[in-house]
Amino acid sequence: MSTIEASGLTKVYRTYKKESGLRGSLKGLVRRKYDETRAADGVSFTIEEGELVGFLGPNGAGKTTVLKMLSGLLNPSAGEARVLGFVPWERKNEMKRQFSLLMGQKNALWWDLPAQESLELNRAIYGIDRARFRQVVGGLSELLEVTNKMNVMVRELSLGERMKMELISALIHEPRVLFLDEPTIGLDVVSQKRVREFLRVYNQEHKIVTMLTSHYMQDIEELCQRVIIIDHGKIFFDGPLEAIIDRFSGAKIVSLTFEETAARDFSAFGEVVEQTPVSVQLKVPRAQVTETARQLLANCNVTDINVQELPVEEVIRQLFGERTTLNHAAAAQMAAAV
């Protein structure tokens, strides 16, 4: 049995659509109109033990909604899910003791207590043996390099230190499933790297299932071999990270270095990404790379040529932009039809 199973998971929000003015208010008393938003629409996937999966999508795509349903905070409108064999929204204690949800924009620790005392409260809540608690917290704090911050008030910690303490809090009961919603948001580059390294090592050592949402592609590239991409509540990609480029990238980057200054217009060969007096980077359609490279070598004094795939971040950004344009066009057509 898979550790996480979702089948047709759907969440629909209804919002009251009020007309303006007094007349609109009176009409609303008699007959109300509602708008429906499908935050999740038939979401289906499975995740096996030990997998670290990136869960991607633009703002409002439904990522957090899905994580909240899988952690039991929301009841779905339709569909089924199992986490460790449990139905999440039944909120059984056996499941609660085996998963954690960490949201980068919400604090789980007590603001006016030292981190150590906040963790002690969680120890009491989970009923963890003191010796085991000291061992786990000691190991985690050492890995995250915050041992000397354990007795500092949470509100006096830096954002990076606070997030590391939140991670310790999420892991003191040694869960088998970890949901991470933007864990590195707002952190500086050094703190982001430290958190990523910790998550990678912890996943390898404990084989914990981890679902990670992040707007920082470096988080995904360094940690996740598999990604699930969701947009407007629907999953449209589930597979290896490298396959995103093969499936959705229509171009490659051709980089050229010249023997001498080449002050010429290269736009006929492709989209100029960057140009200096002795080098140029061109974005060229995949099908035309070979012919374009041949023409460039024949017409220029090239000392070095390099062909690379587009960065994953750019491919996904372009993909979201294209899908947003298509969705707006479809919505406009539906509105016109009505």
Count of residues in the chain:
338
pLDDT, residue 325, reads: 56
With a threshold of 0.85, does the pTM exceed it?
A: no
The pLDDT of residue 335: 47
Q: What is the pLDDT of residue 44?
A: 95
Q: Are 269 and 296 in contact (CB under 8 A)?
A: yes
Residues of the chain with pLDDT under 70: 1, 16, 24, 28-29, 262-263, 313, 321-338
- Whole-number pLDDT of residue 331: 47
- β-pairing verdict for 271-276 and 302-309: unpaired
Q: Report the first-to-last Cα separation within the chain, whole angstroms.
A: 46
Looking at residue 323, its pLDDT comes to 57
Rounded CA-CA distance 88/86 in Å is 6
Give the pLDDT confidence score for residue 334 in this predicted structure.
47
The residue among 101, 99, 74, 54 whose CA lies nearest residue 9 is 74
Structural domains in the chain?
A: 4-245 (3.40.50.300), 250-309 (3.30.70.1150)
Task: Dihedral sign for Cα 204, 7, 229, 62, please.
Answer: negative
Apex CA 318: angle with CA 312 and CA 324, to 5°? 135
How many Å is the Cα radius of gyration of the chain? 25
Give pLDDT, residue 336. Answer: 52
